[in-house]
Structure 1
Amino acid sequence: MIKIRFRVPRESAGIELLADLSRELVSAVQTLSEMLGSSRDEDARLVEAMHASEGRSNELFFRLLATMRSSIINRLPREDLYILGGSLNGAVEALATAADVVVAFSLTHQSPRAAELLEIIQRMSDNCIKVFTSFESLDDLEDVWVDSLRLAKRAEHTRIAWLKEMIDSGSPLTVNKQKLMAERLMAVVTHLRALSMHVGEIVIRES
C-alpha cells in the first residue's frame, strides 16, 4: 500500500516582510553614512530621509504583527518572527536616533571609528538580507550567522578603541558628544547581534 503524504503549505509572507525590513535597514545605514560624510547643510534632507526609513520600518513591523495573527501556519513560529522583526526594527530606530544626535550636537568632526562601526553595521545589515532571502538553506544561514557574530565582536573592539581615544583627547565636551554617537551605533550592533543569535537558535533547532 502506497502512503501519500500531504504537506500543509506554510505561508512565507512573514519571511518576505523580514527581508523587506532588512532592506529598509540597509537604506537607513546608507543614509547615516551619507550624513557623516556630508556638510551640515545636508542635515535637514538626510534626517528627513532617515525618519522616513524609520516610519517605513515601523509600518513593516506592524504588518508583520498583523500577518502573524492572521496566518495559521507560518514557515517560522510566531515567536521567532516577532523576535527577528523586533531586532530589525529596533536597529533602524537606533540609526534614526544616531542621526538625531548628529544634528542636535552638530557633530562636524566625526572620529574615524564612527565610520569603522558603520562599515561593520553595513556588513551585518547585508547579512540580514542574505538570511531572509535564502531561508531554506540552513548551511548558508549558519555561515551568515557566524559571520555576523564575528562582526559584532569586532564592533566591540572598535568601541573600546574609540573610548580610549575619547579619553585621551582631554576635551569633556568632545568626549560626551562622541560617547552619545558610539552608544547609538553600538545599540544597532546589539540589535543585530541579538538577531544573529536567534538565527543561530533556529539553525540548531531545525537541523
Structure 2
Amino acid sequence: MNQRDKSVSEYSTKKRKAKDSAPPPPSAAAAAAGASPPPPFAPVKFLVPAMRISYEIDSLADFTSNGSMSSLGLPPPSSFPLLLDSRTSISTLRRAFDTYTGALQFGESYTLNIESGKRKEMIRNDALPSVKQTITADLDLRDLYRNDILTCVQDLRAELDYEQRSDIVDEKELRALVERLRNSMTNWLLPISEEDRKVAFEIVKAARSDMTS
C-alpha cells in the first residue's frame, strides 16, 4: 500500500467511526409534523469556544484561496492550532460545540408549521409530537452538523499529513476540504441568532487582536 492509499485508509476509518457514533436522525414524528420549538437561548459566552473554531476556519479559507500556498507552502499548524495541530484533540473540539448546545434553554411549547387540515387530523389521531420530541430533533440536527465538522477536520489533517510526508502541495484538494469544512460550520451556526453570532465573533476577534499586538 502506498503512502496516499494508507492515508486515505486511515481517515476513511475515522469517517466510519464518526458515522457510527453520530446521533440518530431527528425525531420522525416532530419532523413529519413540521414542528419546531421556539428559538432556544444560551448566553453568548457559551458560544465563544465554537466561534474560535469558526474564526480559524475563515482564516484558513483565506490562506488556501488567496494563493498563499504557492509561495508559502502548506498552512502551518502553528497558525491554525485548533484545526491543524494534532495536539488539539477532536474531543477538545467537540467540547467547544457541546458547551453551547449544553447551555441551550428551550421553551415549553412549539410551533406547528403545517396546514390547518393536517393539524386537525393529527389532533384527532393523537399524533402531535411532544415538546420533548421537537427539542430532541433540534439537538440531534445540531449534533449532526457538529459531527460533520469534526469529520472534515480529521480529513483535512490526514490530507496535510500525507502532503507533508510526500513533499507535495495539492492546492485544489486542500481548498475543497476547507470549503467543505466552512460549509459545515455555517450549517451549525445557522440556527443561532445573527446578533449572538456577531457578539461572539467580536469577542474572538478582539482576543486575537490582543494576542498579535
When normalised by structure 2's length, the TM-score is 0.39
Larger % of helix: which? 1
TM-score, normalization by structure 1: 0.40
Larger Rg: 2
Larger RCO (alpha carbons 8 Å, 6+ apart): 2
